[in-house]
Amino acid sequence: METVADAPWKTFDRIDIAAAASRVRGVTRRTPLLALEAGDARIELRGKLENRQETGSFKARGAWNQVSQLDAAQRAAGVVCASSGNHGKALAWAAQRAGVPATIVMPRNAYANKIQACRDHGATVVLAEDRLEADRECAARVAAGLTLVHPYDAERTLEGAGTVGLEIAQDWPQVEVVVVCVGGGGLISGASLALRRELGRRVRIYGAEPAGSPSLSRGIAAGAPVHLEAITSKVQGLTPAYSGQINVDVCRTTLDGVFLLEDPLIFAAQERLVALGEVVEPAGAAAYAAVVSRCLPEELLAGRGPRDPLRVAVVVSGGNPDPAQLESVRAAIARERLTP
């Protein structure tokens, strides 16, 4: 029988999530784990509301864990990343707090409010034609001496993101299923590692990834990063060209599966969360979408009901929607409420 001591995730003991929790304590917020509507009486659903986090997303955790450990030379040279928004905003915030110069390379089609947020936190913003060009511009600056703070393919980023899973396990140790949104894989690899360490195999852990950007799914199948030739999803923030090797390696040992979701399901879940009063971007609603669109295996729900519901947590990862997009969602909600 497998024990926690000899579990496969022991391979990653060097990833110190407990130390990261100490670093982020008092700097980032311990976000609430609150009840959400599941639309199914067999499920007790709670949302880990990282949309209420500093900078509006879980990314603040990994950014601070990275920046707080820079040495003097790295601090003087400055940090850089390529980002479509939330990681860039978080790194700009963390660097400003630490007094470190930051350069954020962003694709031109990034949400305008996210571009401005990086500038508002004192970062130099470089706009590239697309995400691939942003990666190349970022690499050139790393070659020139800046320190790369990668949004997902870095152990220190995983450590910070892992504090999300650690808090879920601490606040709701009875949880039976956790669903986490998937972009590059930093959040799900860190959170799943923390959950396995705390709760072992008795918790099921699933990813929720756009079907039009399945980088982690393909990486897990291949055992190595797979660079997508085409990305068709419009869920900005969950559409990197690849997932990192460390993300693939961790997730192959910790996940029970990844749900692939079409964009309309994710956008519909965002609308449901906004109707409940949360400010959520589409990417932040992917894990919730997996539950309300009935992706959970039916075997987990067998025999469950209001008296003994399946205890499920979802991570609501980000709350930085494009203002115009959010306004259109709120307008749609208002129209629905007026319709007899």
What pLDDT digit, counting tens, does each position of 259-288 carry? 999 999 999 999 999 999 999 999 999 999
Average of pLDDT values for 128-138?
89
C-alpha span between 193 and 178 (Å, rounded): 12
Residue 289 clears pLDDT 70, i.e. is over it: yes
Mean pLDDT of the chain: 95
* Distance separating alpha carbons of residues 251 and 85, to the nearest angstrom: 24
Tell me how crowded residue 229 is: count the other CB atoms within 10 A of its CB.
6
- Write the DSSP assignment of 192-234 as a string of letters: HHHHHHHHGGGSEEEEEEETT--HHHHHHHHTS----S-----
Contact 340, 302 (CB under 8 A): no
* Three-class DSSP category at 147: strand
Instruction: Determine contact, residues 62/186, Cβ cutoff 8 Å.
Output: yes
Residue 181, pLDDT above cutoff 50: yes
With a cut of 60, say whether residue 4 has pLDDT above it: no
Architecture of domain 4-58+154-336: 3-Layer(aba) Sandwich (3.40)
Q: Which tens digit of pLDDT belongs to each residue from 200-216?
A: 999 999 999 999 999 99
Average pLDDT over residues 313-323: 96
Beta pairing, strands 43-49 & 33-36: antiparallel
pLDDT tens for 62-87 read 999 999 999 999 999 999 999 988 99
Enumerate residues 6+ apart whose C-beta is below 8 A from 144: none
Q: Which CATH architecture has domain 59-148?
A: 3-Layer(aba) Sandwich (3.40)
What is residue 1's predicted lDDT score, i.e. its pLDDT? 42
Whether 214 and 242 have beta carbons less than 8 Å apart is answered as no
- As annotated, the residues of the chain forming the CATH 3.40.50.1100 domain(s) are 4-58+154-336, 59-148
- What is the model's pLDDT at position 185? 96
Question: What is the rounded average pLDDT of the residues 229-256?
Answer: 94
**Predicted confidence band at 111 (pLDDT cuts at 50, 70, 90)?**
confident
CA-closest candidate to residue 319, choices 29, 16, 4: 29
Task: Give the CA-trace dihedral at 103, 161, 112, 336, to 10 degrees.
Answer: 180
Encoded amino acid at 296, one letter? L
* pTM for the full predicted model: 0.95
pLDDT of residue 6: 64
